[in-house]
Structure formats: structure tokens, C-alpha cells
Amino acid sequence: MEKLHYADYLQLEKLLSAQDLESEKKGKKAHDEMLFIVIHQAYELWFKQIIFEMGSIKNLFNNEYLEDKTLGLINSRLQRIVKILELLNDQIRIIETMTPLDFLDFRDLLQPASGFQSLQFRLFEAHLGLKWEDRSPVERQYFNSRLRKEERAILDNVIAEKSIRELIDSWLSRLPFLEFSNYTFWEHYRTAVENMLNSDEQSIQENHTLSDPEREMEIKNLKATRESFETLFDKDKYSKLLDKSEVKFSRKAMLGAIFIFLYEDHPLLHLPSRILNSLIEIDELIIKWRYAHALMAKRMLGTKIGTGGSSGHQYLKKTAQRHSIFSDLFNVSTFLLPKSQVPVLPDEIMERLSYHFDVLRKG
């Protein structure tokens, strides 16, 4: 049997024969089209890796009982996705070595193909938790018309699955942190919140450097904060937000996330909080990637239309934050308190949230 060879293992024959320049076929070879193809293929390779990691993460979440061992694995794979997304953001610097004029050399030949047709990027969004209803009508029609039937089918299947966002939601909801035997955490938390908001209000009132319009603005901000706390404490108000899809996480999940961040330095909450932070990082990096692409499109085409007959800049800019999946986790910060004001948990609970090396010594 033949010995394994690097070129066969990586199937380089396939990989390196997959770059055919449209401009060459059309008899007017444009040097920079090669870069255009290679960089998009590099993106697609990394999308495959990201989707592969997300699939495994979904499987790991898909069992009722998650022990810490699994959480460590989940987080290291989320962190791998983070590193890949950092690379994909840096990768933009390479395409910027192509001038708008170089691009115009072959752009018309690519019509109507478009980056919007990247099935893997749509799957990436779907695995994370983006649903059809999160997209604008135009966007939906757009994908309907631009994705092939079979691509559309694959996408719909993934959208039908429980997304990572949903799995996180049910994981957070079933975390056993919310009601304790004879200790009602939320009452103590609520009191602490009141004190904080009052002192914030005072700080604005006493801030003589503020002009009146500024002060008004700040008071308005604070009022908004009070209201968001209200929506947290009041089941009905919260469901209204859900109906208007201003929030995506269930109330129970939000409370779980807040508890995790408030007590993240307790051993048992260490990995859960790292996982939530990894999700925030991923969301942030996708937002930055969309935004950077919006700027790049503007730089390449100005207000011209993209190869897909679409105005990339506007689309990417608009969706940068609108398609955020974990914005609720960003907002958890709204609900945090200074350590000094965080309710102290009863010893009994503290004990349960800790573990010690010396359990081993006992052996």
C-alpha cells in the first residue's frame, strides 16, 4: 500500500486546480482576478472549519446534562472560532492591495455572481441563530432568488435545527442558580439595583459640568436603564420585548447570564462565564467583519452597484449590528453592579459554588 504523501493527504490536485479566471476565458486576462478568487476560497475554507466546530458545539450542548469537562471543550472550540474570525478580519488587508481600477478590470465579467450567494456564510449565520424573520423583506426575496433550490433546502434545514443561540438559551435557563431553597436571590438583587440607580441619578444631578441639554439627555438615558431593569423584573414587560423581538433570550436565560457574570469568579461559574464571553467575542468579530467589508466595498465601488447587482456598502453597513445574535449578552452589562454592591450569597450557597484541590488530599 502506498505511503501517505503530503500532496495526496491535502488533495492539492483538486485544491490548486480550482482557480480559473473569467477574464482569461474571455480573452482579457486581469492579473488581480487571481487574488480575488484565492481570497474568497480562503474565506470559504475557513467558513467550513467554523461550521465544523459549530456542529460539534451543538452536539455537545445537545444533551440534557453538561458536566464541566464538556464546558471546557465547548469553550476551547468557541475560542478557536474566535481566532479564525480574527484572521478573517485581518485578511481584508490583503484585498486592499487591489485598487478600485484593478477591480473594475474584471468586475463586470462576474455579474451576476455575488458574495451574497455564499451558502456557507448563510449556514454560519443560521447555526449561530439568525432566522428568516430576522432578515428584511428585500433581503429574504434576495436570497430566495439568488440561492439555488438545493442550497436553499440545506439552509432551511439548518435554520430548522436548534441554533447555538437557542441551545445556550435552554442551557442558561436550566442552570440551577436562580431559586435557592430558602434564599430568594432576586429580592436582594432588586434592592441592590435600586440603590445603584439612585446613586447614578444623584451623580448626574450633582455633575455641574453638564449643560442643561446634556443633563436632560443623561436623565433620559437613566430612565431608559430603569425601564430595562423593569422589563427584567416584570414578566409581562419582558414578554412584550420578546414579541417585538427587541430581545432574543428568554427571561430565565437572561437572569442566568446575569447571575453568572455577577459571581463569575466562583469556581463553578468560571467556565460558564468564559463561554458567554466567547460568544460576545464572536458576535463582536462578525459585526466588525461586516462593518469592515462595508467600508471596503465603499472604497472599491463608491456608490456603484456590486457584482451581484446590489449595493454592498449599504447592505453590509445596515446588517452589521442588526444581525447581531448575542446583543442580549452585551446588554447583560446593563444589569451588573459594582462588586461592593453585589448581594453576598449565604455561605451554604457559596460552598456549593466552590471546590477545592484538597478534596484530593482527603483521599
> What is the footprint of a second copy within residues 279-298 (CB under 8 A)?
280, 284, 287-288, 291-292, 295, 298
Cβ neighbours around 201 below 10 Å, total: 16
Q: How far is CA 294 from each of CA 130, 312, 314, rounded to the nearest angstrom?
A: 20, 7, 7
Q: Please give the residues from 313 up to 352 whose contact with a second copy meets the rule CB under 8 A.
A: 330-340, 348-349, 352
- Of 141, 191, 195, 245, the one binding a second copy (CB under 8 A) is 141
Q: Quick one: 21 or 128, whose CB is closer to a second copy?
A: 21
Q: Please give the residues from 254 up to 283 whose contact with a second copy meets the rule CB under 8 A.
A: 261-262, 264-268, 270-271, 280
Determine, following the binding rule CB under 8 A, whether residue 170 of this chain makes contact with a second copy: no
- Of 1, 27, 149, 181, the one binding a second copy (CB under 8 A) is 181
Q: Please give the residues from 36 up to 75 whose contact with a second copy meets the rule CB under 8 A.
A: 37-38, 40-42, 44-46, 48-49, 52, 56, 65-69, 72-73
**Cα–Cα nearest to 332, from 234, 237, 247:** 247
- The minimum distance between CB 130 and a second copy, in angstroms, equals 19
**Cα–Cα nearest to 327, from 270, 362, 283:** 283
Residue 34 grid coordinates: 487571481
CA distance 175 to 257: 9
Q: Quick one: 132 or 330, whose CB is closer to a second copy?
A: 330
Count of H-run helices and E-run strands, the chain: 19, 0
- Of 170, 173, 239, 311, the one binding a second copy (CB under 8 A) is 311
Determine, following the binding rule CB under 8 A, whether residue 195 of this chain makes contact with a second copy: no
Determine, following the binding rule CB under 8 A, whether residue 27 of this chain makes contact with a second copy: no
CA distance 331 to 247: 10
Number of residues that bind a second copy (CB under 8 A): 155
Q: Please give the residues from 214 up to 253 whose contact with a second copy meets the rule CB under 8 A.
A: 214, 217-218, 221-222, 224-225, 228
CA distance 339 to 162: 35
Determine, following the binding rule CB under 8 A, whether residue 24 of this chain makes contact with a second copy: no
Residue 300 grid coordinates: 472599491
- The burial of 115, by beta-carbon neighbours within 10 Å (0-12 exposed, 13-18 middle, 19 or more buried), is given as middle
